[in-house]
Structure 1
Amino acid sequence: MNTKETRKKIEVCFSPYLFPLFKEEFEIIVVIDVLRATSAICAAFNNGVESLIPVSTIDEALEYQKKGYLVGAERQGKIVEGFDFGNSPYSYMKPELKGKSVVLSTTNGTKSINIAKESGQVVIGALSNLDVLQKWLSEQDKNILCLCSGWQNKFNLEDTICAGAITDYLVNTGNFRSEEDSSIAAKYLFLSAKDNILGYLKASSHRRRLKNLNLNEDIKYCLTPNLAPVIPVLNGDKLELVKEEVSL
């Protein structure tokens, strides 16, 4: 076990609004948007998508669409009219997407990716890639920040629980430390929820929003760990899979 002085940091930022308070301290930023952007991204790569371009605005998405890209766009949980799909993980499991480059713009997640990319290596985190991601992060020997996308710059439970799982795992390796109260809170939320994440989040605000849109199957997928064991990382403006093998 490393001493406190040599251990790397793993901390949690509850929302993009708070990111400026953290951004100078970390080499890897894990962007998390469990419901549903990062879960959809992991589903896409698990299905064989070659690369995915995350964009923040509908105007950017339209420009890519004009160039012939397949483009997903979501706002307020709904597919934006005129685009190929939204951010349901199931939209990215279609055989015709294998080997393709696609574009995605969402209410929260893709904005967080683009906010984070100037500050460090961006990695995509979700419950669906939790185990393989935790193992990979534990091998990096770098200071890591979990950036929760939240909902319109506000705190949410599902992203924080995912961040808490990552924090708990890395601290338990003995090679990482957490000092921020946000990280401690995230860890204990995860420990409270881990035996039944779906049930724990039954009353969460975004789960209610998606349920009202009849997206229950998306909810179940996104809150089930390890369905898409892939690690997407941002290279330039494109998300691609990490090159190295990760053995669990």
Structure 2
Amino acid sequence: MDTRKHIEVCFSPYLFPLHKEEYEIVVVIDVLRATSAICAAFDNGVKAVIPVATIEEARSYQEQGYLVGAERGGQIVEGFDFGNSPYSYMNDDLKDQEVVLSTTNGTKAIDLAKDAETVVIGSLLNLDALCEWLVEQDKNILCLCSGWQNKFNLEDTICAGAITEHLINTGKFKSDEDSSIAAKYLYLSAKDNYMGYLKSSSHRRRLKNLNLNEDIKYCLTPNQSSVIPVLKDGKLVNIKNSK
């Protein structure tokens, strides 16, 4: 009997309802930039990140005195403390704080997946650490790409492909979906030069036009982090500190 668990890829939140009943773990991926920023936040001592889907929710938290990051269309929403640049979280003032984050794509995907048994944050930054942790869980896994406004994008799919390739190579997982096979081959094509491969991608061009090249370079540099952010009671916490 085949006892391997499934690792599959969902290309966009729009397709998530077709998958959600089958997987115990959902890995939410938004490489440029929400999930990368979340990893950076924990690396820099943030206690918890509260992801919210709407600007209205973000304003409500702000009125309660929270530090709040809000981004739409790649830019900081006027009136908020910061956006979703990883560099915004490299700030000693945020250490041991609970901060709130609302973004165009990533936090909406987290909200969509919140009823899963486990929701974990994935990026290229924490790729190896995340893969090792996922193998230990021995459960069925869905990589949910945040995409761009419910559309397919390259960088999230490549990251999902990297996770898929790693887990399948352990011999403990299998993939049946064409989306997972496609993601894996995109990753294999891109892995030696993410920056070059993604040069013409829509979101990289979008951020470049906003003069956010340093963010792009940071987010596309793998394995700078070993944090495992998981959703617990509506807050993302680093699993290493939550046991």
Q: Which TM-score bucket, shorter chain as reference?
A: over 0.9
Which residue of structure 2 aligns with residue 78 of structure 1? 75
Which residue of structure 2 aligns with residue 173 of structure 1? 170
Distance between the aligned counterparts of 2:22 and 2:151, measured in 1? Answer: 22
Which residue of structure 2 aligns with residue 210 of structure 1? 207
Distance between the aligned counterparts of 2:145 and 2:6, measured in 1? Answer: 17
CA RMSD of aligned residues (A): 1.0
Which residue of structure 2 aligns with residue 195 of structure 1? 192
The one-letter code sitting in structure 2 at the alignment partner of 1:109 is G
Which residue of structure 1 aligns with residue 34 of structure 2? 37
Which residue of structure 1 aligns with residue 52 of structure 2? 55
**Pick from 213, 235, 240: which aligns with 1:243?**
240
Which residue of structure 1 aligns with residue 62 of structure 2? 65
Shift of 1:229: 1.8
Q: Deviations over 1:98-152 (max 9, x none)?
A: 1000000000000000100113310000000001001100111000000000000
Distance between the aligned counterparts of 2:98 and 2:223, measured in 1? Answer: 23
Pair 1:17-2:8 in alignment: no
The alignment covers a number of residue pairs equal to 242
Shift of 1:244: 7.4
SS at match of 2:22: coil
Equivalence map 1:81-230=2 (5 Å): 81-230=78-227
The one-letter code sitting in structure 1 at the alignment partner of 2:92 is P
Q: Deviations over 1:13-64 (max 9, x none)?
A: 0000000000000000000000000000000001010001000000000000
Distance between the aligned counterparts of 1:78 and 1:141, measured in 2? Answer: 38
Moved over 4 A (4+): none
Q: Deviations over 1:161-209 (max 9, x none)?
A: 0000000000000000000000000000000000001110000000000
Q: Deviations over 1:63-122 (max 9, x none)?
A: 000000000000000000000000000000101111000000000000000100113310
The one-letter code sitting in structure 2 at the alignment partner of 1:74 is E
SS at match of 2:6: strand
SS at match of 1:243: helix
Unaligned runs of 5+ in 2: none
Distance between the aligned counterparts of 2:117 and 2:178, measured in 1? Answer: 22
SS at match of 1:227: coil
Whether contact under 8 Å (2:227, 2:240) holds in the other structure is no
Distance between the aligned counterparts of 2:80 and 2:128, measured in 1? Answer: 33
Larger CA deviation: 236-245 vs 112-121: 236-245
SS at match of 2:99: strand
The one-letter code sitting in structure 2 at the alignment partner of 1:103 is V
Whether contact under 8 Å (2:101, 2:107) holds in the other structure is yes
Distance between the aligned counterparts of 2:162 and 2:80, measured in 1? Answer: 34
The one-letter code sitting in structure 2 at the alignment partner of 1:9 is H
The one-letter code sitting in structure 1 at the alignment partner of 2:120 is V
SS at match of 1:127: coil
SS at match of 1:128: coil
SS at match of 1:147: strand
